[in-house]
Amino acid sequence: MTIIILTNCPAGLRGFLTRWLLEISPGVFLGAPSARVRQALWAEVRQYAGQGRALIAYQTNSEQGYTFETHDHAWHPNDHEGLTLIHRPNPQAQRKDRKPTDGPRHGWSKASKRRRYGSR
C-alpha cells in the first residue's frame, strides 16, 4: 500500500499521479504499485512539486511495517534505533534568543502590548 499526499502542488502533477493511484481526497493518493513504479512516481513528484510539499508512506518489512519520506516539509523523518520518528522543529526554541527588550512581537493587540511593556 502506498499513500502520497501533496500540498500546494501543480494540478498537472495530480493528474499524472491519477494514472497509477486513486485520488481519494484532494491531494491524497492511494494505491499498491510495485516498488519500481513507486520509486519512479516519487522521483516525478520531487521533480515537479514546485513550491509545494509532498509526503509518501508505504509498506516495508521493518519493525514499524511502513516507512515514509518527505519533500520540502519542515518536519523530517529521523532514524532512531531502527524506528523512524518525525522531527518537528520547535518554534519556541527559535525565539529563545529574543530578549524581552526587543520590543513587542507582531500580531499582538495594542492592549496586550500596553500590559506587557507599560503604557508608552
pLDDT digits (tens, 9 = 90+) for 1-60: 999 999 999 999 999 999 999 999 999 999 999 999 999 999 999 999 988 999 999 999
Cell of 103: 520590543
Cell of 100: 524581552
Percent of the chain at pLDDT exceeding 90: 48
Whether the predicted model's global pTM rises above the 0.85 cut: no
Alpha-carbon distance 25 to 28, whole Å? 5
pLDDT digits (tens, 9 = 90+) for 9-18: 999 999 999 9
Alpha-carbon distance 110 to 61, whole Å? 56
| Phi and psi torsions of 85, nearest 5° | -115, 160
